[in-house]
Amino acid sequence: MSSSPKGQNALESSADSDTSEALVRRPVSKFTRVYRSPWFSVVVVGLISFTQPGIWNALNNTGAGGQQEPYLVNGANAITFGIMVFGCSIFGALANIYGLKPILIIGTLGYAPYSASLYVNNRYGNEWFVWLGATTCGIAASALWATEGAVALGYPHPEDRGKGTGIWLGLRELGQLIGSSIQLSLNVKQNKRGKVGYTTYLVLISLQCLGLPLAMLISPPNKVIRSDGTGIADPTKAKNFLGEMRKIGRLLTTKRILLLIPICIIGTWNGTYQGIYLTKYFSVRSRALGALTSGIAATAANIFWGWFFDLKYFKRPTLAKIVWGFFVAILLALFGWQVSNEHLYGNSPTKVTLDWALPGFGRGFAVNVLFRFMNESHYMFVYWLIGSFDQDVKTLTLTVSILRSVESVGSCLANGVGALKIKPMTNLIVAFVLFVVAIPTTTWVTFLVPERPTLNRDAEEDREETRVSGPIAVVVPKDLDLTL
């Protein structure tokens, strides 16, 4: 909740007065300015996302984690997201107590065991390891999801949050691009349906092991130095876990969060169907090609919307309405196309196997790629909306954790339904209906978007300001740590 302009000005004046008494001058090297810049941390968190969920997506977008049947992997994913329903909010609160960096490090420890379990299942048929890997992945993903968005949205200036989100999510898709390229090269001769070769997993697991050393390079918020020399208030002042959970409860009752819940729940539902679609109707090499082109489409979405959302041509509230109207029209058309395909393939008298060497491949393949572009565009839009309301890292961390918990509810339900042996058309119709239900609430929230983000009341109480003094020195509060 934001205070009145008059009250907010008073708070800012008070904060500036209190800060001026604590300012000291410290020399800052050029290397430190680069290393402690918001963009360095945004790039690093993007690379972490590339090695962790990016590689996970590369496997999932091949269909069923590269397996021949989708049911085991969808069941495992349901466990992963089930843990995240509660884990994201818990780790979001812990991040405001112990800092973003240690929670981010925890987020790099659980993805590789899950990929290893898929390798063991693919080669030896072992299943219990998949359930264990899904559990470790759920814990790690809870920590990573609660923190990576806070870095990408909270470290840059508010007017640069489109670029920050684009870099973060664009680098995540680099994981899918590289991972799917490896898969395609290893499975290029498999023009029948089935599972990918087990050597695929070994390469991807090695990439996921890079996440931990990368996490060591992230700067805590209180060490960040923006281009104009300003810093970021330390969000770890609160040491009361229950107090942070109460703040999450207060945020959860705000209108903007309640209105975003439906679109967050349905955001990944269609992605689960797409995995089933690829597994059911495409050859192994076409699935690998689908993962590669999906990554290209998603990267294109990240680059385009990262640029478009920061345009000064439109006012932010106007931009929100225009983009959402475009999304609704395109997604409704794509759902119609997908329903038509599913009806054609699902009711075929013979088993359908779409391969790039066969006629009719383009019709079935193109809609998958376009859906991937729109799913990623929708993802960026939701996080841009989040960044449009809250300015401070502390509130953003809690807001992101709430919505990622809600997102996990949708993913858990979608994968749970995907693990059942029901008709793919049923899964697709459910995804379509849920999207239609989310249209009114998301439209409403676009009418609430302010021109600029505001400080949360909790952040106003402990706000700190930093200023520049000279080309090689920064004036900072005494407790703002600029050491390497």
250-258 long-range Cβ contacts below 8 angstroms, 24+ apart: 251/395, 251/398, 251/399, 251/402, 252/402, 254/1, 255/445, 255/448, 256/385, 256/389, 256/445, 256/448, 257/399, 257/402, 257/403
Q: What does the pLDDT read at residue 249?
A: 86
Q: What does the pLDDT read at residue 12?
A: 40
| % of the chain beyond a pLDDT of 70 | 79
Q: What does the pLDDT read at residue 4?
A: 41
pLDDT band at 10 (very low <50, low <70, confident <90, very high): very low
Q: What does the pLDDT read at residue 89?
A: 86
**pLDDT tens-digit map of 331-367:** 999 999 999 999 888 888 888 778 888 888 888 889 8
Q: What does the pLDDT read at residue 61?
A: 54
Q: What does the pLDDT read at residue 6?
A: 41
| CA angle in degrees (0–180, nearest 5) for 430-425-415 | 55
Is pLDDT above 70 for 305?
yes
Query: From CA 255, how far away is CA 202, in angstroms rounded?
Result: 46
| Amino acid symbol at 233 | A
Q: What does the pLDDT read at residue 477?
A: 45
Higher pLDDT residue, 340 or 427? 340
Task: Please state, rounded to an integer, the average pLDDT across all residues of the chain.
Answer: 77
Is pLDDT above 50 for 138?
yes
Phi/psi of residue 74, each to 5°?
-65, -35
Q: What does the pLDDT read at residue 188?
A: 64
**pLDDT tens-digit map of 373-422:** 998 888 889 888 887 887 677 788 888 888 888 888 887 787 777 667 77
Q: What does the pLDDT read at residue 482?
A: 42
Rounded mean pLDDT of 218-229?
A: 83
* Domains contained in the chain, CATH given: 30-461 (1.20.1250.20)
Is pLDDT above 90 for 203?
no
Sequence-distant (≥ 6) Cβ neighbours of residue 203 within 8 angstroms: 182
Q: What does the pLDDT read at residue 67?
A: 47
Rounded mean pLDDT of 190-203?
A: 61
Mean pLDDT is highest, among 22-31, 346-355, 430-439, 464-473, for 430-439
Distances (CA, A) of 234 to 45, 373, 392: 19, 36, 10
Sequence-distant (≥ 6) Cβ neighbours of residue 351 within 8 angstroms: none
Query: From CA 79, how far away is CA 179, in angstroms rounded?
Result: 24
**pLDDT tens-digit map of 102-133:** 999 999 999 999 988 888 887 787 888 889 99
Q: What does the pLDDT read at residue 143?
A: 92
pLDDT band at 478 (very low <50, low <70, confident <90, very high): very low
Is pLDDT above 50 for 473?
no
Q: What does the pLDDT read at residue 299?
A: 83
Q: What does the pLDDT read at residue 354?
A: 81
pLDDT band at 82 (very low <50, low <70, confident <90, very high): confident
Q: What does the pLDDT read at residue 47?
A: 92
**pLDDT tens-digit map of 241-300:** 788 888 888 888 888 889 988 888 887 677 778 877 887 888 877 877 877 888 788 888
**473 strand-pairing partners:** 27
Is pLDDT above 90 for 213?
yes
Q: What does the pLDDT read at residue 337?
A: 94
Contact 96, 244 (CB under 8 A): yes
Q: What does the pLDDT read at residue 174?
A: 76
**What does pTM read for this prediction?**
0.68
Query: From CA 235, how far away is CA 67, in angstroms rounded?
Result: 43
**pLDDT tens-digit map of 147-193:** 888 888 888 887 787 788 888 878 887 766 776 676 677 666 655 54
Q: What does the pLDDT read at residue 45?
A: 92
**pLDDT tens-digit map of 438-467:** 999 999 999 998 877 665 544 444 444 334
Neighbours of 126 (CB within 10 A): 12
Rounded mean pLDDT of 229-236?
A: 71
Q: What does the pLDDT read at residue 150?
A: 82
